[in-house]
A and B are shown apart, each in its own frame.
Chain A
Amino acid sequence: MTLADGAAPLSRTPLHALHLARGARMVAFAGYEMPVQYPPGIIAEHLHTRTQAGLFDVSHMGQLRLIGQDAAAMLERLVPGDVRGLAPGRMRYTLLLNDKGGIIDDLMVTRVEDGLFLVVNAACKDTDTAHLRTELEPFVTVDACDGQALLALQGPAAAAVLARFCPGIDRIPFMSAATGSFDGRPCQVTRSGYTGEDGFEISLAAADATAIAERLLAEPEVAPIGLGARDTLRLEAGLCLYGHDIDTTTNPVEAGLAWAIGARRRANGGFPGAATIVAELGAGPRRRRVGIQPEGRAPAREGTVITDPAGAPIGRVTSGGFGPSVGGPIAMGYVGSQFAAPGTACALVVRDQPRPARVVPLPFVPHRYYRG
């Protein structure tokens, strides 16, 4: 048996056998045995997703249902997003916050018939579930949706492919949801993802996951994509990875996520850390998350110290590597706000050598969402 750090046994998703059959290299991630790449490799998988369509197994992520009439109002006590204003079938990105305004997790929330549907990070799902139960029950029922799988189909061909099985699904706009069926198997589809491309996430019964994944993979545009390319795609798209770019020590303002704080919420507060966050919205944060473009070819990994051109430390890289669509190294990190303007020269200290870089706007690759 494969053992994770701390010798805890790894969980498997319903697609485990499919990954092995397709030659995936499996790694431990958030307590799961997950495919990091298939035989084509990270760069080919990344470029395939940007040009055609990639199928990702994201069944390790947490799917939760908050059931009850007051679910939206109750969830607003824990997040800064406008949840009450979410129309049925619409979704939005929001953040679970602690009392200091630090980020406990980032998540997607969708208004469904009987309440809300949440997708949370795999590594956080147990603590999120406990937090939600403590704070919301008994007024809202928190259902952990055990037995649900989650697939993501991402890329410019995703809509045309999925519409072959779910007619009309190509007409729902970005950040909306529809319930339907796929080969007669019930599923819930959202137009969302983590690549910067148009695409969908499909929540379905674990027992149906392999059959539906195989049907999608049989389409000529679709290839299976591992976590390695998922990470390079989201980094190029400038999207945060929880536990790296955001965590309990970062707040939404410095993370560049103030857009996720609803206007009504700014005015009325009522979420954890509201006083701190509203004050920071007014005064501006001490530091900011920025894009960083190295001038040379050397990637700067997470933890790399960022300095000003004279060598004084100004921040640290939180995600960094090689961007296959950019064709070179890219990074994100936090720098003091006075250094956050695009074009600011800086240096990245890689293997004790300062290497010139500059602050750039995010994303590195334009988003291509379908807004209808």
Chain B
Amino acid sequence: MDKVELRSHILASVREYYEEAFAAEQRDFTPGKSKVNYAGRVFDEKELMNLVDSSLDFWLTAGRYAEEFAAGLADYFDLADAILVNSGSSANLCAVSALTSPKLGDRRLQPGDEVITVAAGFPATVGPLVQNRLVPVFVDVALDTCNVMAERLSDAVSPKTGAIMIAHTLGNPFDLDTAREVADAHGLWLVEDNCDALGSRYGGRLTGTFGDLATVSFYPAHHITTGEGGCVVTGNRELAKIVRSFRDWGRDCYCEGGENNTCGRRFNQQFGTLPFGYDHKYVYSHIGYNLKMTDMQAAVGCAQLEKLPAFIEARRRNYDALYSGLAKYTDELILFQPTPKSEPSWFAFVITVKENSRFTRSDLTAFLEANRVETRYLFCGNLLCHPAFIDIEHRVVGGLENTDFIAENTFFIGVYPGLDGARLEYILDTFATFFDKQA
């Protein structure tokens, strides 16, 4: 066999391997015995075949699959650029760091500048602000949407405010009309942490397309996965260039790995106080990182991206099924509500135990877990209560009562596409049993 035939033989074997090793695992479910995860990777033979195909290229760093995946994402968002990185957290780090670039002149964020955000979320939204010596300004969230109380955004603006950076909580878009309006009125950058919301829409338009920058995560719990992985999307080409620079060690040159002199000016420019014509490939305009995605991760992403519309539909279907099944418990539970004007691509189904309930969050989650239904708290609850964040420089505007309430009483269960009718029915039966026991 020549190399082309060998490759095709190997890929055919991979297809067989998938059937043998994974197909049944994804299908089989025994109520009470099989674990009902809140999330998980959903894939078929295509992801495995792409992964092996990429490994046979042995290109390793960003290559043909990375190019295809990035282009597919840019097309999906209908934006000029998608910059692949090695995680959603790295995407946030690159996005925030980009806003500190001297290339932005007067609009750059400087140490001590404030960024409006929320404390009820994942640390990867706020962490990059602190790492860049910016000052987070926390605004409370609503209990039903778990999103920023948008009416308080204006109050949070001060002469030092430079940006708004907020996550669409667990797939539920925050009020983008108000956020955009406040950003525009005060000349602020708007960064959408879209890591948990790939495919969500607000006013009919995809989240991730409202901000100057937006981020996406491809961690296995997310809408599509590359294992570790993420990207920054933007329609602003100057910001895209800066994000790419921060991703690639801070270098000024934008050639991809393995390429040279794509601009044709590699040896005839002046930078800093370097000798004229110093190799542009080794000129650094930022203190950057190395956060690139590999081609093997992107190969999995290409196959996942094709499944995204079906995944979004499944997540919405599963949310609807859980909502209608749990609606009878709203005397004691607050169920996750979509933000007005939004069509969420749900990450999870959030439940908050009301103050006057006969049971606590721990009672309910312990029961669910004991019955193999996986639960998670809403990430940090209140970020400011965590050891790493207690002493950070920050401001709070209007109190964080709901954030504290969420830290005490909120959890979520899954809606991911791996939940089929049998698993959803089992979740609802488990809730029913719990409530029967309370009577």
* Bound together: no
Binding site for B on A (CB under 8 A): none
